[in-house]
């Protein structure tokens, strides 16, 4: 969805390097998420934020940190990258709708390789 | 763990309807059924969602059984570009405490000429 953008789209880095993945959205949504996907597996939640002042750990937050700079921006950092963090990373946004649905919209993903 | 069961793979002829089933026998009254698809390694794409009633949009139709224990996603005229992994996801109203979607293994749909 073009309303959710991620940079970079591809990144190769070395073990021990610090790296930041960025996500921006123009949908005006309050909620933002970071997921990772490993080959042949489903998406797993790393961090989520329900508004600018709200940051929460997800299922697999160890080795990662995040920053919610504004409603539209949510960044994911790997402080010291390691090879098993090689994966596809997806950002998503959502906003509660009348009736309680919470549809998420995903960015195109960042393919990260840690050597 | 995913709360849904889907066939691992399905084939469909181009131009025909693709009917993708999903079992969610433990669904509760305050949970939606969402369908997403992922084409190759692109970001998951939202297709449709429903609570109790059948739903239709420009992409697909969602048929939910009366007891809500299963549903079927219908792509009325499948094209080669519909080849993807389709995920059926059950999620609480308001997204639940974490708001995340629990992705299972999905159904790999192959549309053939």
Chain B interface includes A103 (CB < 8 A): yes
The CA distance from A37 to the nearest CA of chain B, in Å, is 9
Residue B59 has pLDDT above 60, yes or no: yes
> What is the per-residue pLDDT across A38-72, written as a single tens digit (0 to 9) for each?
987 789 999 999 999 999 999 999 999 999 999 99
By a Cβ cutoff of 8 Å, what residues of chain B touch chain A? 2, 30, 32, 34, 41-46, 49, 51, 87, 91, 93-95, 98-106
Q: Do B106 and A96 touch (CB under 8 A)?
A: no
As a whole number, the mean pLDDT across chain A is: 93
CB atoms inside a 10 Å sphere around CB B88: 28
| Paired residues of A23 in beta bridges | A6, A74
Is 80 exceeded by the pLDDT of residue B94?
Answer: no
**Per-residue model confidence (pLDDT) at position A62:** 96
Per-residue pLDDT at A2: 65
Q: Among A95, A104, A112, A113, pick the best mutation site for testing chain B contact (most B Cβ within 10 A).
A: A104
Q: Which helix (H) or strand (E) holds B88?
A: strand B84-92
At CB < 8 A and 24+ separation, what contacts does A43-48 make? A43/A90, A43/B44, A43/B101, A43/B103, A45/B98, A45/B100, A46/A76, A46/A89, A47/A76, A48/B98, A48/B99, A48/B100
Contact A41, A59 (CB under 8 A): no
- The per-residue pLDDT for B2 is 62
Q: Once rounded to an integer, what is the mean pLDDT over residues A20-44?
A: 93
Mutate to test the interface with A, among B36, B50, B100, B108 (most CBs of A within 10 A): B100
**Is 70 exceeded by the pLDDT of residue B1?**
no
Write the pLDDT tens digit of every residue in B65-76. 999 999 999 999
CA–CA distance, A61 with A99 (Å, rounded to integer): 31
CB B22 within 8 A of CB B71: yes
């Amino acid at each position: 969805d073009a309303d959710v953008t991620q940079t970079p789209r591809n990144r190769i880095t070395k073990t021990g390097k610090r790296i930041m993945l960025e996500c921006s959205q123009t949908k005006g949504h309050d909620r933002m998420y970071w997921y990772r996907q490993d080959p042949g597996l489903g998406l797993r939640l790393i961090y989520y934020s329900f508004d600018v002042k709200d940051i929460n750990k997800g299922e697999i937050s160890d080795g990662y940190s995040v920053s919610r700079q504004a409603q539209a921006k949510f960044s994911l950092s790997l402080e010291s990258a390691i090879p098993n963090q090689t994966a596809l990373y997806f950002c998503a946004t959502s906003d509660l709708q009348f009736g309680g649905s919470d549809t998420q919209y995903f960015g195109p993903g960042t393919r990260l390789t840690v050597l | 763990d995913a709360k849904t069961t889907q066939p691992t793979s399905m084939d469909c002829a181009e131009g025909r309807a693709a009917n993708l089933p999903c079992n969610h026998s433990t669904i509760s009254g305050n949970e939606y059924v969402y369908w997403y698809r992922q084409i190759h390694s692109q970001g998951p794409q939202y297709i449709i969602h429903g609570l109790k009633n059948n739903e239709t949009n420009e992409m697909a139709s969602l048929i939910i059984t009366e007891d809500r224990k299963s549903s079927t996603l219908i792509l009325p005229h499948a094209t080669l570009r519909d080849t993807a992994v389709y995920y059926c996801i059950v999620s609480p109203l308001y997204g639940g405490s974490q708001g995340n979607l629990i992705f299972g293994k999905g159904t790999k749909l192959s549309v053939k000429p």
